[in-house]
Amino acid sequence: MTALPAPTALSTAAVSVLSKNWAGSHTLPASGLYPHQWSWDSGFIALGLRHVEPDRAQQELESILSGQWDDGRLPQIIYDVSRDDDYSPGASFWRSTDLPAAPVVPTTGLIQPPNHAWAAWEVHRTNPAASERNDFLPRVYPRLVAWHEYLATRRNRGGRGLASVIHPWESGMDNSPLWDEALARIPDTPQHTIRRPDLLHADAGERPSTKEYGRYFWLAEQYRDHGCDDLGGKDSFVLEDPTFNALWAQSELALALIAAALGKDDSGHLARAQTLTDALEHLYDDDLGLYVARDVTTGALVRKPTISGIIPLILPGLAHAEAVLATLMGPGFLAAAPHMVPSYDLRAPDFEPAQYWRGPAWFNMTWLVIFGLRVQGAHSAEADRLAANLQSLALEHGFPEYVDPLTGAPHGTRNFSWTAALALDLLHRSV
């Protein structure tokens, strides 16, 4: 097992990253490549901040909640309009403030995985005094309920209770192989019309291609031009993703704990968490031994073995937990990956160790796998090994966005906030 870094060195460096990326009310994922507030990033960031600055952890979550729409959605991004040219598509593309249901702050119309209630409960649980001093739970609970109701009422496109994503960006795993078949149905956009300020901060070989970006833009334009209407539009990309729905189920369990702490009825949250956990079985692929996405448009399962299909291990009572654990520990994932968990089966012919979500190991996904192993009460030595590796690689390489799962070499941007936050979280759990 990789030796753990010195706690003081890791803590000092991680806190420094989070301080440098602080933008006054929230934390930027990375100040150059990602100059706005991202939704699920803030959830992960709050999990680290809770140990060192509990008030700021609360503020992190309340900041993303300030972008909530009237229909309950939490947007993928809240924009800093002063940096509109630094990221594409920006606020001027979405024009969200022209829509009556949108907030006064400029946002996307898209969403991201719902880890916010889980983060809110952990922030409260770690420092109840700071939470109670600020009336944190009473303030955030109704907004988190509205967010989950949005998913239940407007994103149940497949009719089985699972939320659908209508754009790859909504999954948080932009160019995952899970989306290839659906994206192939999307018309190409002339590449000269696509702005790529991201390539000023990252190697093109580590980012989605401009052809892929063209399809992302086409989907975003279609959704925008239909008023970001989930009920009236005819979206060309509609998929049920395992990780998105596992995080929703986990956050429903957290909402139950929040409700109980506030003296409210928790039964509805517990029931929905169980319904979601049961509904995930519609995404299980017995041959692959993990969960996959389902293309709601065609009804077909997308049989690609990705990290998304392993993340449901975070849920207690998962029907196929033993099979998924066997897949995780097998040759496609941890048996051949000495550092962290790859985002795609190492044996896949199109596995790429440095190419965004097509192979690299991500710190948030490895953190979720560690949590899942703890929930399942399985492979504790492997969980310890992964936790040590995550902390060591984070510090050694300047808190990179992701790493090569075979060599540990860093890729993407550096000083990445959720890498720092989750390393900090694991450090505090081990001391």
Residues designated catalytic: 174, 401
Strand, coil or helix: 344: strand
Structural contact between residues 341 and 334, judged by C-beta atoms closer than 8 angstroms = yes
Q: How far apart are CA 23 and CA 37, in angstroms?
A: 9
Residue with tokens 């909402």: 255
- Say how far apart CA 421 and CA 49 lie, in whole Å: 7
Are 216 and 167 spatial neighbours (Cβ–Cβ below 8 Å)? Answer: yes
Q: What H or E segment, with its residue span, contains residue 38? A: strand 37-38
Query: Can the peptide bond before residue 242 be classed as cis, meaning omega within 30 degrees of 0?
Result: no
Backbone angles phi, psi at 344, to 5 degrees: -150, 145
Size (the chain), residues: 431
Phi, psi (5° rounding) for residue 403? -135, 160
Give the pairing of strands 361-362 and 293-295: unpaired
E strand or H helix that includes residue 171: helix 168-171
Q: Cα-Cα-Cα-Cα dihedral of 422, 46, 38, 383, to 10°?
A: 30
Nearest to 312 by CA among 365, 353, 360: 365
In whole angstroms, give the CA distance from residue 16 to residue 48: 12
The conformation of residue 209, written as its DSSP 8-state character, comes to -
Region of 359 (left: φ > 0; alpha: ψ -120 to 50; beta: rest) is: left
Strand order in the sheet with 301-302: 164-165, 239-240, 293-295, 301-302
Closest among 340, 339, 341 to 290, alpha carbons compared:
341
